[in-house]
Structure formats: structure tokens, C-alpha cells
Structure 1
Amino acid sequence: MILHLDMDAFFASVEQADNPELRGKPVIIGTGSRAVASTCSYEARAFGVRSAMPLYKARRLCPHGIFLPGRMHRYKEISRTIFKLLHEFSPIIEKASIDECYLDITGTSRLFGPPARLARLMQQRVWETCNLTCSIGVAPVKFLAKIASDWHKPRGITIIETEQVAPFLAQLPVSKIPGVGRKTLPLLQRLGIVYASQVLDFSKQFWEDRLGKQGAVLYARAQGKDPGRVVTQTARKSCSAENTLAEDTSDPHLLRSWLLTQSRDVASQLRRMGVRGRTITLKIKFADFTAMTRSKTLAAPTRSSGIIFETASLLLESCSLGKQVRLIGVGVSQFAENTPGLPFLQDPRKAKLDKLDEAMDAIAKRFGESMVQSASLLTFQERTRD
């Protein structure tokens, strides 16, 4: 049996949990004239606001909504807490995103009882730990577990036992099957297919002839089959941070300021992972949506925000922009384990930068990330607020 856990309106719910004055109010995560809503509370959804909706449309539908810029560092912190406690229930966990995951719970009934009881215990632990709600789906296969977790949101629990798969597919709209999108759905509608089980009115060969390999996948899922298994988290190969700017710009000082805050974010990720990276990559997307990347491989791997920033800045200086920039980002790859070198081989300047970052990490862990900032970053934050 496979369990899929999905947090309810995660970003908005974190804001409401941290600030009780926001509870019961329409909270929408996203600011700026060109941005989209990252997510929104269920109070905002009652007005028709949805994730990925342009904010100008969200404001029109919900003019009294509370629009917040979002705090990704906080959401990541809560996410790590949730994933840590989920290991109490199963060691086989696959992270699907910051707020959802799969667990293989086969054989856990001796410890936690049947799936419904385990799901209730899991919801209780998440609530007690984070003051947040989640929805859970359990099924014999992954794609049905994911569909089930969305079936009774929020705070829902939906269990699909093996013998219930066929009846469930008989009432499942075919559009809910993963892979059925804008191109496939019109074909299904022309054939009069409304529910998933109706796909079986036609042969596997019929679907392969029209949809290729995707046709075979569709036919299998209409039978409730899915070869996918829960795969524990594989090692990350890169860390990155990027931002779409509120207004297109070619101001090098503003672009460098974004690189400064992004470099600090990426360096913090590296230190949490216990690795250093050798290759620094600058990413730029222009106003006409063309993009470019520039990379530099260092002689020695680093986790220093200062070195990442300096390298990214040099890469920016080497670019002949010529056009307004819409998005900028920095990434680090080619990881090495976080092992110290011999003392006489260490660069004193790099050692000082590492100690500075470690001190800032310690302060942030104890008092919060907003308690200590570089002077350059504070100036930048004041400019972006204005």
C-alpha cells in the first residue's frame, strides 16, 4: 500500500499558523504586478482564486484578499520538520515537492493498525508539531494514492483498498488521470469517454496507435495499474535560487543585489546538505523570454556565500546584456563532500568567509534568519520594498 500526503494550502497555512490574525481570512501568497499566486488559503479559494493564477485576476476576484510576498526559508524549515516526523511511520519516503510525498506503508499494520488509523495518526502528528493540516490518500499504486489525497481536501483521508480500485475508476473523471491533458482530453471526449474505466471499452492497441507509449500508460492506469514504486530521495546534484523581477531592468547594481541574496540562500542550502560545490552558474532570462547561462568551475569546491557571489558577479560582468533582464538566478553544482583540507593548504581568506557563514547560520538558527544580514543586503531590501 502506498500513502500520499499533501499539505493543505501549505504556504498560506504556514502564514496563518504563524500569525493567528490571518486565520479565517483570504490569504494569497504572491506580490508584484506580473507575478502569479503561489498558493492561497481556502477562504480565498471560495472567491475563485487558484494557484498559478495571475495576481491581477486574483485581486479582481478577491479585492479584500491579503497578499503576502511569501517566506520560502520558513516554508522550507517547516517542510524539513514534517519530513523528519514522517520517518516515524515508514523509512521509505519519496519527496514529490516541498509539501507532498509518498510513503510505502506496506507491512506497517502491525505497528499502526490499518491504513485509516495510520493516516489519522499521521495527521495528528503533523498538527501537533506544526499546527498545520494535511490530506492523505492510500491506494495500491502511486497515481491512485495521489488522486485520493485530493479527493476530500482539506483534512481529508481517502483509502482505496485493492478490491475498491475498479469501482473507484468507474466514478473517476478521466481528466483526473495523470497524463490526460489538453491534447489527450479532446480525443477522449470525441469518443464519449467520461470516466476512467471507459478507456477499457477500446483495446490497448487502439490507444497505442493513437497516442503511442502514452496510450499504453493510459490503458494500464484505466485498469488501476502503475509500475511506479516509492523511491527514496536520491542525492541532489545542484542547488539554485532565482527570481523573476517585478520590472525588467539592466541596472547592474540591482542585478548584483539579487545575486547577493541568492548566493546566501544557495550557500545555506549547501551547508545544510554538508557539501561544497565546484561549478557556479549564472542564469539570465530576458524580457523577450530568451535565456542565457554562464558557468565557471573553481579550483576548489566552496560553500561560501561570498565566493559564490563574487563568482556570479564576475560572470554577470562578462555578459553583454544588451537587453532588459526579466529573471536572474545563481546555482552551484559538481558537489564534493564537506571535508576540511590540510591546515597549511587552506586559503586564510576562504577560511574566514566560512567562519563568517557558520556564525550567521548559528545566529539564524537560534534567533531567526532576519536577525542578521549583510549591510549590502539590507540596503537592497529597503530598495525593493520602496
Structure 2
Amino acid sequence: MSRGPRPSGRRDWGDDEGGTSILHVDMDAFFASVELARRPHLRGLPVIVGGEQRGVVLAATYEARAFGVHSAMPMAHARRRCPQAVVIPPDHGAYRAVSEGVMQVLRDVTTLVEQVSVDEAFLDVAGARRRLGPPTHIAELVRRTVRAEFGITCSVGIAATKFVAKLASGHAKPDGVLLVPASATVDYLRTLPVGALWGVGESTEAALARWGVRTVAELADSDVGTIQRAVGRVAGAHLYDLAWGRDPRPVEPGREEKSIGAEETFAVDVADLAVVEAKVLELADRCASRLRSHSLVARTVSLKVRTSDFRTLTRSRTLATPTDVGREVYLAARALLAGVDLGGLAVRLVGVRVEGLSAAASTVRQPTLEEAVAENSGARRDVERAMDEVRGRFGRAAIRAGTTSLASKRNSTTEFVPGDLS
């Protein structure tokens, strides 16, 4: 079941598909579904994808969700709620491969595909209707193809706008289709709590409640000035438009990725800063490798640290010049780590993210002082690209960068891990 707000009663919205050219396709329990396709003997069982001990739930089958397990829940809590669950460690390479395959299925329907995450996308099928039929037929075609080729299911919302299509796909879960005709959009929205609107989190919902607004219908029937006084001028006007079904945003194919990141929860809390630095190096290397695979460079490096008391600290630094070199990302992240006041606490989780992305080919890069003196940036980039090739053939564990510890001040090295590379 979807965890999002649902209509307050069953409605027959009719079968008029006029003006409904926007589809929102959302994979059902995506990571878990991919694992079940690889392990069909687990179908029907509660399955959780995530770190075995101290990680968080990345996905859970609907059988596990029936016990209250949901994504982002600490694994320890999930195991207490559903001790009989089968826990599977994540395989992000497999998820990316299936995601790319599904997105290609969608692009075979129309070129107007906006991928918004690894498991969901918007489509504008106005130009495909003559070739493939009405939107409901296209939705069924997509669902049949995804199931046949990848062994997973998806839910599809169909509407006149992106916002309503996304709501509809959530209400269609699991493995369903929901059409909201353009003529029924306002009636559909009026059945929902105000928390269903995009941009309404807990604080906004509480602010609206103080003004007596708890449903979309109450919001739509209010004066826009009242809503603006409750939540601010810009946000109030936006929410008022959504309540009346007004969402002019088009489907934007080829939307650029805004950031690339990686994080990891330690098996036990880590007090040794050198161990944390080593993990920061690994995460920076992963981010840079993904930058190179997408022919991108990044201008900003962000660090995320969660301490043993579950306090989360974030810091960021803008680089003098954009980069796709792992060592440069690492040095910035290491400097950020050195500036974080941990309060004497051990580290539970650390993450590195690169932002401010741009195409490498069209980005002018001025050499840093270190590059100008050492003239080694190009050589370092060549080394890291060679490492990418090795990993592509033999897996990521075949080769990794060494660490430069704040404590030891040792020079960075490249470490070759013994193994069968034949």
C-alpha cells in the first residue's frame, strides 16, 4: 500500500481520457521487487532490503509493510516489528541496470520522459496517442512490458498535470492504474487531506491547521490571502493553485542530475578519525567515478556526519574549479571533516555528495595552485580513469585508492587488492 494520503472514499471518475496526457510511472517497492525477481522463491514472504544490522530500510515488500516496516526506518526497528523478515543487502549495480532498462521501455513509448528518480518518471504521451491508443492503453502496455522484461510491477497515474498524475500513481499502488480525467481533477483533489499537496510537510500542515485548513477542499475554499498569511506569500499562492488543479510544469526530458552522493552506516560507532577518513576517501572515490561515467564535473563538495546520538551534521565547500578527480573531492571532504565538532562522540554514518554539476566538455577548468606546481592533475585523472576500467572488468573491490590520514600525514597512494583478475 502507498503510505501517502488517499481519497476519503471510493469515487468513479468515469472513463473520459480527454486532456489527460501526463503519466507518472512508479515502480512498486522497487529494490525489493528487483530482489524478488532474482529470488522468486521469496515471493509472498516479508522481505527487507537494507543493511543487516545498523543500516536503514531501503525497501520492503508489501508483506513486510503490513507489519509497519517502511523505507528509511532503522533496520533494528524493522527487525523488531517483523522478526521473520528476510533481509537482503542492497545491490545498487543491479538496481541501476533494471532502472536503465525500464527507462528505455518508457522512451520507446515517447521521447518526452522525465526521470525523477531511479524508480519513477513522468511521460507526456500526447504525441503517442495516435500510434498507441489512449493513455490507459499506453499505461497497460508499459506495465505489461516492464513485468515481462524485468519481472517487476509498476503503478501508473494518468492526469492532466504532473502533480495529479503523481498523486494518482500513489493511490493506484500496488500494481494498478488510476485515471483522473481533467474534468474531475478538482473533485478528486477535494477528497484529500491538505498533506497530500506537494510542499506540505509537517510544519506547513500545522501552520495551515492553525488557520482551520486541514483538507484540500478547505484550502481551495479559503481566500488566497489567508493561505499566504499562514505559510508565506509564495508558498501560499503555490498551494492555492495546486488545490485548484493548476500545475503548468511540463514534462522535461533529459533533466540534468543535480547531485551525486554516497553514504555508509558503520557496523559499530567509530571513534577513530582515521577510520572515518578512510571511508570518506572511499565515498569520494565513488562520487568521482560516477561523475566521470556521466561526463560531469562538480563545483561543490558536501559532507554529512551522523554521530552516535543520531545528531546529523552537514558541511559544504565550493571548489575553486570544478572537478571529477576523486582525490580533489576527498581533500575537500577531509577538510570539512576536520572542521566538524563531533563533541567527543563516535561517528555512526558518514556521507559525501558532489553538487553544482555541469558537463565536463563545456566547463572551463582553471588549474589549482597544487596542479600548477605539481602538474599532476591530468596524470591523476588518467590514473583514476584506468581504475574505472579495471573496476568495470573485475568489480569495484578489485582496486581502490589509499588514504591520506590527518593523523599520519602519509601521502595518498593507490592500493591494489590481491585477487583473481583473470
Scaled by the length of structure 2, what TM-score is found?
0.73
One of 255, 259, 274 as aligned partner of 2:295? 274
Which amino acid letter does the alignment assign opposite residue 360 of structure 2? E
Q: Matched residue of 1:259: which SS?
A: helix
Confirm or deny that 1:114 pairs with 2:137. Answer: no
Confirm or deny that 1:153 pairs with 2:173. Answer: yes
1:9-38 per-residue CA deviation (whole Å, 9 max, x = no partner) reads 011111112223332221112235554322
CA distance in 2, matches of 1:257, 1:173: 47
Q: Matched residue of 1:132: which SS?
A: coil
Confirm or deny that 1:217 pairs with 2:223. Answer: no
One of 244, 247, 269 as aligned partner of 1:248? 269
Which amino acid letter does the alignment assign opposite residue 265 of structure 1? R
Which amino acid letter does the alignment assign opposite residue 280 of structure 2? L
Check conservation: 1:92, 1:232, Cα contact below 8 A: yes
Which amino acid letter does the alignment assign opposite residue 230 of structure 2? R
CA distance in 2, matches of 1:296, 1:171: 45
Classify 1:376/1:18 alpha carbon distance in 2 versus 1 (closer, same or farther; 3 Å).
farther
Confirm or deny that 1:226 pairs with 2:252. Answer: no
- 1:138 aligns with 158
Question: Structure 1 stretch 243-252 or stretch 354-363: which is displaced more?
Answer: 354-363
Deviation, 1:349, is 6.7
- 1:41 aligns with 61
- 2:313 aligns with 291
Deviation, 1:251, is 1.3
Confirm or deny that 1:326 pairs with 2:348. Answer: yes
Identity of aligned pairs, percent? 36
Question: Structure 1 stretch 224-233 or stretch 175-184: which is displaced more?
Answer: 175-184
One of 367, 372, 381 as aligned partner of 2:398? 372
Deviation, 1:189, is 6.6
CA distance in 2, matches of 1:292, 1:138: 38
Classify 1:198/1:264 alpha carbon distance in 2 versus 1 (closer, same or farther; 3 Å).
same
- 2:91 aligns with 71
CA distance in 1, matches of 2:330, 2:195: 45
CA distance in 2, matches of 1:317, 1:205: 47
1:79-117 per-residue CA deviation (whole Å, 9 max, x = no partner) reads 233223322222223232221121222232112210001
1:250-294 per-residue CA deviation (whole Å, 9 max, x = no partner) reads 313421331243133212211211134566555544446363647
Question: Structure 1 stretch 45-54 or stretch 277-286: which is displaced more?
Answer: 277-286
Q: Matched residue of 1:28: which SS?
A: strand
Which amino acid letter does the alignment assign opposite residue 81 of structure 1? G
Check conservation: 1:11, 1:75, Cα contact below 8 A: yes
Q: Matched residue of 1:103: which SS?
A: strand
Which amino acid letter does the alignment assign opposite residue 330 of structure 1? V
Alignment of 1:17-96 (within 5 A): 17-31=37-51, 34-96=54-116
Classify 1:279/1:230 alpha carbon distance in 2 versus 1 (closer, same or farther; 3 Å).
closer
CA distance in 2, matches of 1:42, 1:290: 30
Which amino acid letter does the alignment assign opposite residue 372 of structure 1? A
One of 32, 42, 51 as aligned partner of 1:12? 32
Deviation, 1:182, is 3.1
- 1:384 aligns with none
Deviation, 1:137, is 0.4
1:100-158 per-residue CA deviation (whole Å, 9 max, x = no partner) reads 12122223211221000111111223223322211110101111101100112111111
Q: Matched residue of 2:64: which SS?
A: helix
CA distance in 1, matches of 2:318, 2:117: 29
- The RMSD of aligned alpha carbons is 3.8
Q: Matched residue of 1:108: which SS?
A: helix
Q: Matched residue of 2:98: which SS?
A: helix
1:175-219 per-residue CA deviation (whole Å, 9 max, x = no partner) reads 423344434546777888775335444333443343443443333
Check conservation: 2:262, 2:287, Cα contact below 8 A: yes
Q: Matched residue of 1:150: which SS?
A: helix
Corresponding pairs, count: 374
Which runs of 5 or more residues in structure 2 are unaligned? Answer: 1-20, 366-371, 404-414, 418-422
Check conservation: 2:25, 2:157, Cα contact below 8 A: yes
- 2:183 aligns with 163
Check conservation: 2:302, 2:317, Cα contact below 8 A: yes
- 2:360 aligns with 337
Q: Matched residue of 2:24: which SS?
A: strand
Scaled by the length of structure 1, what TM-score is found?
0.79
Classify 1:354/1:208 alpha carbon distance in 2 versus 1 (closer, same or farther; 3 Å).
closer
Which amino acid letter does the alignment assign opposite residue 50 of structure 1? H
CA distance in 2, matches of 1:303, 1:278: 9
CA distance in 1, matches of 2:237, 2:303: 40
Question: Structure 1 stretch 81-90 or stretch 142-151: which is displaced more?
Answer: 81-90
Classify 1:197/1:357 alpha carbon distance in 2 versus 1 (closer, same or farther; 3 Å).
same
- 1:265 aligns with 286
